[in-house]
Structure 1
Amino acid sequence: MVRQLFPISALLLGSALLLFAGGINSLLLPVRGTSEGFSAASLGLLGTGWAIGYVLGCWWTPRLVGRVGHVRSFGVMSSFAGVALLMSLLFLTPYVWVPLRGLSGFCFAGAAMIVESWLSERADATSRGKVFGVYTMVNLGASTAGQLVLTTGDTSGYLFFVLGAIFYSLALVPTAISSSVSPRPLVSVKLDLRALWRNSPVAVFGVFCVGISNSAFGTLAAVYADRAGLALASLALFASLPVLAGALTQVPVGFLSDRFDRRKVLLGVAFLALAVDMVFLVLQPEDRMLNLVLSATFGAAIYAMYPVIIAHANDHADDGHFIQTSGGLLMIFGMGSIFGPAVAGFAMSGVGQQGLFLTTAAAHLGLILFVMVRVAIRAPVAEEEKSDFVMAPSARGATPETAALAVGEEELGEEAGDDEAAAEKSEDAESEPRDPVAP
């Protein structure tokens, strides 16, 4: 295992440093914004800006990589992410923070696509699953550590802005000095909404609702925790525990979805999320431990939905279309992510902190009702016709390259096309830009 990971250690280290800085950045802004008196609506728009930037990053990164290559493109992404964080310190106003957060989203999408395409190229058929698992765990661990480091100091000064910028700069070093050969051009994914809808209405509608819910909670959880009276240490746990819990529940949820109708498993998870929504709405707990338990339970539910939806969509998709299906659904998730934080932010400004869970409850209720209708009118997929369940990180941190890294070597070869054609494109990449990823 060590021998397999050593050649990609520079990529994993660069990704870890980037995600560590991103963890600081993602929690620092809502915490500092709250102390500066920013409204919940303006803080919600930070998530909207991030989502717009992330979708645009998935669109334009292949073109940039085609022009200047992987290493230079990754350096650009890391540098501009650091610039965005430092400019957030210079201009303490949401009018500047929102577009800067969009720039951060663009940079993270680009950096993730570059690293994942590199890892996908370096991993062979026997190690792809291990590489994907290690990559996911490294990112989760680094992002969580970045969030928790905020508990060690005062967020009212400049310390964490500078610290985050330092790690953004360090992130470009491993790939810059690595001797690894740059991979073939990035995966190009075309979004065909009609084909996706014909494939699985549950997947299309469901991933849009999950995008609304997950992005709203991911952006405004810290604001909710602050208004609930939690101290900074507890606030950081309130925001980070759900992601870890969601990663842990993917194994049992995936096991169940492989053996039962995936739509019914999705319903069960959605009902659990809705139940937690209602507890937050009705009780509005102030107890520290109860809030942490509820947030972890909520994360275990909401972050386990996305891989179930992807697996269900692939049950109905034609063979060899894993990347197209998951990449298209990722873009729809991004569309939901644009609306979720904005709606939740304005709701919190209007009705108070419970506006966050009013928004997520509406998304989960809509998902439940739609899936129940589809279960009633469409038969489930036979067990022998199901595709394999693939664990996936939170969709907010996924790109079309994540799908390429997750699939097997044979399937990847079928979707990518002829190897010689790919090699020719790689040779011509310096002079001819590739088509951008369609939104």
Structure 2
Amino acid sequence: MTQTLGRVSTLLLAVAILLVGHGLQLSLLPMRAEALGWSTGAIGATGSAYFLGFVIGCVVIPSIVSRVHHIRTFMALATLATVVLLGLGLFDSVWAWLVLRAGTGFAFAGLYMVIESWLNEASPVDRRGSILAVYTMISLLAMVLGQSFLGLTEPADLRLVMGAAFIMGIAVIPIGLTPIAAPQDIPRARFSPRVIGRASRVAVVCAFCGGLVTGSFWSVGPLVGRAHGLDGTDIGLMMAAAIVGGALIQLPVGRLSDHMDRRKVIAGLFVLGAVASLAGWLLVGDSRAALFAVMFCFGATTMPIYALCIATASDNSDLPLIQIASSILIMNSLGSILGPVLVAQVMAAMGGGGFFVFAIAGMGLGGLWALYRIAVIERPRHHDQPFTAVPRTSFVATELVDEGPVAAEEGDGAQRA
């Protein structure tokens, strides 16, 4: 394992550097837009533009990689992400931000795919699960570290934008110096919700509902902190609390789902997420500690849903795992496109508490759907593949999962969980 980590250390270092800057910009940009005097609706639209660009990147980037290969693609996309971020600091037009935020989403979809396919190629088959775990942990820790820079100065100060761009630009260096041979190709995203829906309707609908809520969190979450009187440092802690909550609960929840109907675990997370959101709406007030606790619980209940949806669909399909993951990721991203626009309208009418009201609705909808499907189709689950905490980066991450045989159960009921 140590030898394998040594081989991929330059790739993991690039990921860590890149995601420190990305974590900073995700939280910084909504605060900067608010400082520019924009409406909540405009800020939500820029968040939706990011996820729209992400979906386009998932579809387009593999063909680019097949023509110019990994290193050139990474260099080009890292440069694009850096230049776009600098552009977000230079322009104060909503229309310019919509285009630039879409460019950021496009760039990061490709960056995730390049890194993950490269890790897959460089990792021995019997070590891929461990490398995925290390990659996931490094990604989360880097995102948390990025939040710590929010309090250094005011969001209107260009130095934070420039600092995030500077950090992301450094990520090019270890990739340029890596001795690891790059793979030749990246699998193409295959969006087939009807096919995946035949395997598990719970997975398709709940991935979409999860995207509604998590996309809203990344797009307007910092504004919730502002509405509760938090400064930049505290907003960084609030966002970090949600990320840490999601990181800590992934494996325990996943292991639980290996021993019972995964749909029940998904339904439980949605119900608990709705309860946490209800607590955020009714109980937080001006208490920093209460808001941090609610956000920790919010992250713990919302962030594992994506990986559980992949596992649930995989349990009931004989399709390759990467095809399942690509459809689930795009369904999740479609929810993330719609969520920020909707939550912005609710917050415009209700203030910061509107975020929690929207989260109650989104989590409640997903929970009700899962419970309905459990009531309609009651049967035991056979998990041929144990749960793996797949990060919500790109569908290529599933190539790092040691995929065993996946059984397709007989009968229409078995195909439509």
What TM-score does the superposition give when structure 1 sets the normalisation length? 0.89
Q: CA RMSD in A?
A: 1.6
Aligned pair count reads: 406
Q: Which residue of 2 aligns with 1:329?
A: 328
Q: Which residue of 2 aligns with 1:402?
A: 397
Task: Check the 8 A contact 1:199/1:317 in 2, yes or no.
Answer: yes
Task: Check the 8 A contact 1:121/1:184 in 2, yes or no.
Answer: no
Amino acid at match of 2:401: A
Task: Check the 8 A contact 1:78/1:107 in 2, yes or no.
Answer: yes
* Residues 120-143 of structure 1, C-alpha deviations (whole Å, 9 max, x = no match): 001112211111111111111112
**C-alpha separation in 2, matches of 1:353 and 1:136:** 31
* Residues 152-187 of structure 1, C-alpha deviations (whole Å, 9 max, x = no match): 333331111111111222111111122221113101
Task: Check the 8 A contact 1:212/1:336 in 2, yes or no.
Answer: yes
Greater mean deviation of Cα atoms: 71-80 or 30-39: 30-39
Task: Check the 8 A contact 1:187/1:404 in 2, yes or no.
Answer: no
Amino acid at match of 1:331: I
Report SS of the residue matched to 2:285.
coil
Task: Check the 8 A contact 1:284/1:354 in 2, yes or no.
Answer: no
Q: Which residue of 2 aligns with 1:3?
A: 3
**C-alpha separation in 1, matches of 2:193 and 2:78:** 32
**C-alpha separation in 2, matches of 1:24 and 1:306:** 23
Report SS of the residue matched to 1:69.
helix
Listed as ranges, the matches of 1:355-434 within 5 Å are 355-383=354-382, 385-393=383-391, 395=392, 398-408=393-403
* Residues 186-237 of structure 1, C-alpha deviations (whole Å, 9 max, x = no match): 0123222221111111111111100101111121110011011112211111
Amino acid at match of 1:3: Q
Listed as ranges, the matches of 1:114-263 within 5 Å are 114-263=114-263
Structure 1 vs Structure 2: percent identity of aligned residues? 31
Amino acid at match of 2:333: G
**C-alpha separation in 2, matches of 1:386 and 1:220:** 39
1:92 aligns with 2:92: yes
Greater mean deviation of Cα atoms: 244-253 or 152-161: 152-161
Amino acid at match of 2:215: S
Q: Which residue of 2 aligns with 1:15?
A: 15
Listed as ranges, the matches of 1:23-42 within 5 Å are 23-42=23-42
Amino acid at match of 2:263: R
Q: Which residue of 2 aligns with 1:271?
A: 271
Amino acid at match of 2:340: P
Report SS of the residue matched to 1:389.
coil
Q: Which residue of 2 aligns with 1:425?
A: none
| Displacement of 1:277 | 1.4
Q: Which residue of 1 aligns with 2:414?
A: none
Structure 1 unpaired stretches of 5+: 413-439
Q: Which residue of 1 aligns with 2:314?
A: 314
What TM-score does the superposition give when structure 2 sets the normalisation length? 0.94
Task: Check the 8 A contact 2:304/2:389 in 1, yes or no.
Answer: no
Amino acid at match of 2:213: S
Amino acid at match of 2:51: A
* Residues 390-438 of structure 1, C-alpha deviations (whole Å, 9 max, x = no match): 1122x2xx21211112344x779xxxxxxxxxxxxxxxxxxxxxxxxxx
Amino acid at match of 1:387: Q
Task: Check the 8 A contact 1:315/1:381 in 2, yes or no.
Answer: no
Q: Report the CA distance shift for 1:192/1:231 in structure 2 as closer, same or farther (over 3 A).
A: same
**C-alpha separation in 1, matches of 2:302 and 2:294:** 12
